Amino acid sequence: MDLSRPRCRHWRELVLLASLLACGIRQVYSQISIDPESLLGIKGFRTILVLQNVPQDVQEYSWHRGTNDTAENMIVSYTPPSETWQSGPMFSGRENVTRTGSLVIRRSALNDTGNYTARVDFGNRTEKATGCLSIQELENKPGIWANASSVVEYMDPVAAICYTNATNVNWYVEYTQVSSNDRMTISPDLKTLIIHRVSRYDKTLQCETESIPEFPRRSEPLSLSVDYGPDNVQLRTSHSILNGILSAEIGSQVHMECKATSRPSPKYHWTHNGSLLSLSGAKIILPSLAWEQMGRYRCIVENPMTQLAMYREFQIQVPQSCCEQRLLHLRSQSGQRLSLRNPDLYVDQPSLHQ
Ligand SMILES: *[C@@H]1O[C@H](CO)[C@@H](O)[C@H](O)[C@H]1NC(C)=O
Ligand SMILES: *[C@@H]1O[C@H](CO)[C@@H](O)[C@H](O)[C@H]1NC(C)=O
Ligand SMILES: *[C@@H]1O[C@H](CO)[C@@H](O)[C@H](O)[C@H]1NC(C)=O
Ligand SMILES: *[C@@H]1O[C@H](CO)[C@@H](O)[C@H](O)[C@H]1NC(C)=O
Ligand SMILES: *[C@@H]1O[C@H](CO)[C@@H](O)[C@H](O)[C@H]1NC(C)=O
Ligand SMILES: *[C@@H]1O[C@H](CO)[C@@H](O)[C@H](O)[C@H]1NC(C)=O
Ligand SMILES: *[C@@H]1O[C@H](CO)[C@@H](O)[C@H](O)[C@H]1NC(C)=O
Ligand SMILES: *[C@@H]1O[C@H](CO)[C@@H](O)[C@H](O)[C@H]1NC(C)=O
């Protein structure tokens, strides 16, 4: 803060001393007082100096610049019996007194900082209170920067820096406040957050400062590009797979599709009896199943960025004991269950009912 400007004690200190002091001044004469929490204003915003403990039957409220209540430094006054307002020499055009005696300053400026004295006239006596108003400038949003923008999940660390002169900094990951834990460390000066192994849920980072109480300022969200997977590899096939076996009749059409959670989109490869198929892509269609297309299939899912690969494997067979018995495998609506043309025949084949 600029030391050439007039300064007031911070309201947190003032709150501690509130009952006795405001800006080093005892409010000795009075029952009335200026709410210490109202003695902090933000440049450009409305400030209200709140008068407390005001008894009934007020004849006049007047507000003055400085520590005494002379006519030369009067800002504005309000006379309840006649409902009239009067401006004084220190009136800037932005001040007014509310019907409860509080001083309102619109579009507060930094040079509104200083002492203010309220006088309340009850006809046969007056009460006074002085408080020191501090107008502060809301600092800019803090800046944020990370030393990597594209990272691999569970492999790469990232360090984010909060650009601010504030000393209290909070960190947010995916809009949730975080503290140091086994996955991340916040530096002792609070300005650096290190995530030791970034996960896909750590995409958005923000820092926040609160140099003026109750006026937190949060940085723009910083987005990390996190590559992850493949995981959750799943097979979808036209025929159900039971215990790794897809039973299909010769001549039938077989669809096989692999799915995985991965960023970026993975590459898919297929092998049949251990040999790489020339077909690639997530989906394979065998229009009319031939004998030589029986055997072991493997779908391999590969993420070139994380350099991880996963596979799922199954065997295509002609239906075993059941072929003569004309068992049909039909997909039910859920796509999982088998339905049998004549279920009574197969009650003792538990695997078919799974
Ligand atoms: C007003 O207050 C100042 C100090 O802030 C003091 O020097 C001056 O004498 C006071 N004037 C009156 C009329 O009380
Ligand atoms: C203060 O506000 C009242 C209305 O609430 C208005 O009538 C009055 O003129 C204002 N006084 C000044 C000095 O702006
Ligand atoms: C306060 O600052 C404003 C500009 O922000 C200026 O116009 C005004 O004259 C100043 N008032 C005093 C009392 O210095
Ligand atoms: C307010 O008045 C007190 C007591 O006279 C003085 O110490 C302080 O510097 C004044 N504050 C400002 C900002 O003028
Ligand atoms: C002031 O006047 C009111 C009535 O207007 C009265 O109740 C009160 O006792 C008086 N106070 C003093 C200190 O004379
Ligand atoms: C980012 O900072 C962390 C923590 O200091 C460090 O381990 C990592 O190597 C840095 N990453 C890059 C890309 O410089
Ligand atoms: C921090 O303070 C210095 C010196 O007062 C200033 O040059 C710099 O711009 C400030 N940085 C921020 C982020 O406010
Ligand atoms: C793959 O193996 C199955 C038996 O395990 C066999 O029936 C099929 O002919 C084989 N096909 C190829 C192309 O090797």
CATH of the domain at 99: 2.60.40.10
Q: 80-107, pLDDT tens digit by residue?
A: 999 999 999 999 999 999 999 999 999 9
The reported pLDDT for the residue numbered 240 is 92
Measured in angstroms, how far is the CA atom of residue 103 from the centroid of ligand 6?
Answer: 53
Of 120, 136, 152, at which residue does a domain stop? 136
Is the CB–ligand 8 distance for residue 288 below 6 Å? no
Report if residue 343 sits inside a domain: no
Burial (CB count within 10 angstroms: exposed 0-12, middle 13-18, buried 19+), residue 134: buried
Residue 323 lies in a domain: no
Whether 122 and 188 share a structural domain: no
Cα gap 28→21, rounded to integer Å: 9
If asked whether residues 247 and 170 sit together in one domain, one would say: no
Of the three residues 179, 203, 223, the one that is the final residue of a domain is: 223
Residue 224 token pair: 């990390």
Alpha-carbon radius of gyration of the chain: 38
Q: Is 154 in the pocket of ligand 7 (CB under 6 A)?
A: no
Q: Has residue 335 been placed in a domain?
A: no
Question: 235 near 283, Cβ under 8 Å?
Answer: no
Is residue 165 included in any domain, yes or no?
yes
Q: Which domain holds residue 147?
A: 143-223
Same domain, 35 and 104: yes
Place 214 in a pLDDT band, splitting at 50, 70 and 90: confident
For ligand 8, atom 2: residue with the closest CA: 295
Residues 6+ apart with CB under 8 A from 234: 258, 259, 260, 312
Are 73 and 180 part of one and the same domain?
no
**Nearest Cα residue to atom 14 of ligand 4:** 114
Q: Which of 112, 136, 160 is the last residue of a domain?
A: 136
Query: Do 248 and 279 fall within a single domain?
Result: yes
Q: Quick one: how far is CA 264 from the chain centroid?
A: 24
Higher pLDDT, 245 or 213: 245
CA distances from 39 to 20, 23, 24, 200, 224 (A): 15, 10, 13, 45, 41
pTM over 0.85: no
Residues 96, 150 share a domain: no
Q: Do 132 and 14 reside in the same domain of the chain?
A: yes
The total domain count for the chain is 3
pLDDT band of 8, cuts 50, 70, 90 = low
Instruction: Answer yes or no: are the C-beta atoms of 137 and 111 closer than 8 Å.
Output: no
Structural domain includes residue 347: no
Q: What spacing in Å lies between the alpha carbon of 85 and ligand 2's midpoint?
A: 6
* pLDDT confidence of residue 7: 66
Ligand 6 centroid–CA 302 distance in Å is 26
Q: Whose CA is nearest to atom 7 of ligand 8?
A: 294
Q: Is residue 334 part of a domain?
A: no
CB-based contact 85:125 (threshold 8 Å): no
Q: Is the pLDDT of residue 232 over 50?
A: yes
Which atom of ligand 7 is the closest one to the Cα of 142? 13
- Helix, strand or coil for residue 31? coil
Q: Are residues 218 and 269 in the same domain?
A: no
206 and 234 housed in the same domain: no
Same domain, 32 and 124: yes
Instruction: Compute the distance between CA of residue 277 and CA of residue 178 in angstroms, rounded to an integer.
Output: 48
Q: Report CA(290)–ligand 8 centroid distance (Å).
A: 10
Tokens of 270: 């297929």
Q: Are residues 211 and 180 part of one domain?
A: yes
Residue 266 has pLDDT above 70, yes or no: yes
Q: Which ligand is nearest to the CA of 6?
A: 4
Determine contact, residues 136/96, Cβ cutoff 8 Å.
Answer: no
Say if 348 falls within a structural domain.
no
- Calculate how far, in angstroms, residue 68's C-alpha sits from the geometric centre of ligand 4: 11
pLDDT of residue 131: 96
Nearest CA to ligand 1 atom 9: 68
**Residue carrying the six token digits 């076996």:** 245
* Residue pLDDT, tens place only, 158-175: 999 999 999 999 999 999
Q: Is 3 a domain residue?
A: no
Q: Is 164 in the pocket of ligand 7 (CB under 6 A)?
A: yes
Does the beta carbon of 125 sit less than 6 angstroms from any atom of ligand 5?
yes
Distance CA 313, CA 249 (A): 19
Residues 206 and 265 in one domain: no
- Whether ligand 8 lies within 6 angstroms of the CB of 295 is answered as yes
Which is more confident, 29 or 247? 247
- Is the omega angle on the peptide bond into residue 230 within 30 degrees of 0, that is, cis? yes
Collapse the DSSP code of 73 into the 3-class scheme (helix H, G, I; strand E, B; otherwise coil) and give the result: helix
Q: Is 152 in the pocket of ligand 6 (CB under 6 A)?
A: no
Q: Which of 259, 308, 305 is nearest to 281 (CA)?
A: 259
